[in-house]
Amino acid sequence: MTDPLILTLAMDEAAFARFDAERRAHFPPALNRIPAHATLFHHLPGEEERGIVETIAALARTESPPEVAVTGLHFTGRGVAYVLDALALAILRGRLAQAFAPWLTAQDRQGFRPHVTIQNKVAPETARALQARLQDAFVPFRFAATGLLLWRYLGGPWEARGRFAFSGTAPA
Q: Quick one: what percent of the chain has pLDDT higher than 90?
A: 94
Angle at Cα 76 formed by Cα 96 and Cα 142, nearest 5°? 55
Sign of CA dihedral 79, 83, 89, 95: positive
Global pTM value: 0.94
63 secondary structure, DSSP code: -
For residue 58, what pLDDT is reported? 96
**Cα separation of 128 and 1, whole Å?**
39
pLDDT band at 172 (very low <50, low <70, confident <90, very high): very low
What spatial distance separates the first Cα and last Cα of the chain, rounded to whole Å? Answer: 46
All domains in the chain, ordered by first residue: 5-165 (3.90.1140.10)
**How long, in residues, is the chain?**
172
Query: CA 60, CA 58: separation in Å to the nearest integer?
Result: 6
Q: What are 73-82's pLDDT values in tens digits?
A: 999 999 999 9
Task: Determine the Cα–Cα distance for residues 78 and 90; give it in Å rounded to an integer.
Answer: 26
Q: What is the largest CA-CA distance in the chain?
A: 49
- pLDDT tens across 42-81, in order? 999 999 999 999 999 999 999 999 999 999 999 999 999 9
